[in-house]
Amino acid sequence: MTAPVTLVEAWRGDFLESLHQGHVAIASASGDIVEGWGNPDQLVFPRSAIKMIQALPLIESGAADSAGLTDEHLALSCASHNGARIHTDRIKAWLEAIGKGDDDFRCGTQLPDDRQARTEMICSDQTPCRIHNNCSGKHSGFLTLTRHLGAGPEYVEVDHPVQLAVREAFEETTGETSPGYGIDGCSAPNFVSTLGGVARAMARFAVAAKDGDDGSSPRARAMSRLTAAMSRHPDLVAGEGRACTRLMRAMDGKVAVKTGAEGVFTAIIPEQGIGIALKISDGATRASEATIVALLIRLGVLDANHPVAKDYFNAAITDRRGAVVGRYKSTI
């Protein structure tokens, strides 16, 4: 078994203060790992970085079209959003359209990450609802699929028809039989696979997106639609100030990226037909963001001189007065 490798170093002055280790896999749709660091066979919980896979049954079943879902809905189904009004207003309307409400969610409540929405809520002495959960878009997709299938209300149970469909899509796109699952922060099952399997799935999305409407199968067309929705609506996938939104804008929608908890990040690169998956061993978001940016620059899809890239790639460490006192250095 290959050990994790150092991917990001934190330097303060002339001294190494901290380091982050992890694994990276870059795959082609054929399943080959074309480049990797650490152990591409490392088993991981991909967390929210594979929400586009979890959304595949929503389209493939016909539920999305039956409910009249647009690209905005599909982007939200892949989102880990900030809970800003642009997110929650759309999700409220989505729920109303399918005859559901906040109580139908099984994702739990969450204070909005969006500063304005959070401040308004605190200052008006309101309490957060399930709709503010950063996964409420994904759960709106689950509820839409549940209604379409005529299934029971406990859609996060691992043996529910929705999650059985998700597992099938996950195993088919990764090319692996999942050895098990854990429960994500939003109460839904999160299936385990190798990091290489996740990269392989992202590469399949990339090839499908490159083919567009000419995709040879319903799955390929569903993959293309989800990738396009993420790329066209980066503000709905995450939110202002978030790495996913900022990076997709910086690359003019040519690449779709998605973060996940505990240091996971994925990328779909249609022009090259490849997918990326990475996992930071200590779960640090600062390291996963720095590493995905280093990889995007290495692959030539993000300009190293773009202001957004500079905020993550070999980014400055500053003190409270704004003086540069160190730097995060990528080893890739």
Tens digits of residue pLDDT in 259-317: 999 999 999 999 999 999 999 999 999 999 999 999 999 999 999 999 999 999 999 99
Q: CB of 55 within 8 A of CB of 226?
A: yes
Give the pLDDT mean for 144-166.
Answer: 98
Q: Per-residue pLDDT averaged across 9-15, rounded?
A: 97
Indicate the pLDDT class of residue 166, thresholds 50, 70 and 90: very high
The partner residues of 119 in beta bridges, in order of sequence, read: none
What letter represents residue 128's amino acid? P
Taking alpha carbons only, the member of 115, 85, 157 closest to residue 241 is 115
The boundaries of the domain holding residue 127 are: 5-330
Spatial neighbors of 122 by CB under 8 A, at least 6 apart, are none
Specify the CATH number for the domain of residue 64: 3.40.710
pLDDT tens per residue across span 38-77:
999 999 999 999 999 999 999 999 999 999 999 999 999 9
> What are the b/e assignments for 59-70, b being 16+ CB within 10 Å?
bbbebbeebebe
Nearest CA to 202 out of 23, 29, 24, 22 is that of 29
Going by pLDDT thresholds of 50, 70 and 90, the confidence category of residue 185 is very high
- Average pLDDT on 252-263 reads 98
Q: What is the pTM of this model?
A: 0.96
What percentage of the chain reaches a pLDDT higher than 90? 94
- Collapse the DSSP code of 39 into the 3-class scheme (helix H, G, I; strand E, B; otherwise coil) and give the result: coil
Question: What Rg, from alpha-carbon coordinates, does the chain have?
Answer: 19
259/266 Cα distance (integer angstroms):
6
Is the pLDDT reported for residue 6 higher than 90? yes
Q: Model confidence over 196-246: pLDDT tens digits? A: 999 999 999 999 998 876 667 999 999 999 999 999 999 999 999 999 999
Nearest CA among 65, 75, 128, 84 for reference residue 102: 128
**Residues facing residue 20 across a β-bridge:** 8
**Cβ 94 vs Cβ 74: under 8 Å:** no
Q: What is the mean pLDDT of the chain?
A: 96
Per-residue confidence band for 2, with pLDDT thresholds at 50, 70 and 90: confident
Count the domains in the chain. 1
DSSP annotation of 200: H
> Would you give the distance in Å from CA 246 to the centre of its chain?
14
The yes-or-no verdict on residue 175 having pLDDT over 80 is yes
**Tell me, what's the pLDDT at 111?**
92
Using pLDDT thresholds of 50, 70 and 90, give the confidence band for residue 1: low
Nearest to 53 by CA among 130, 137, 160, 138: 138
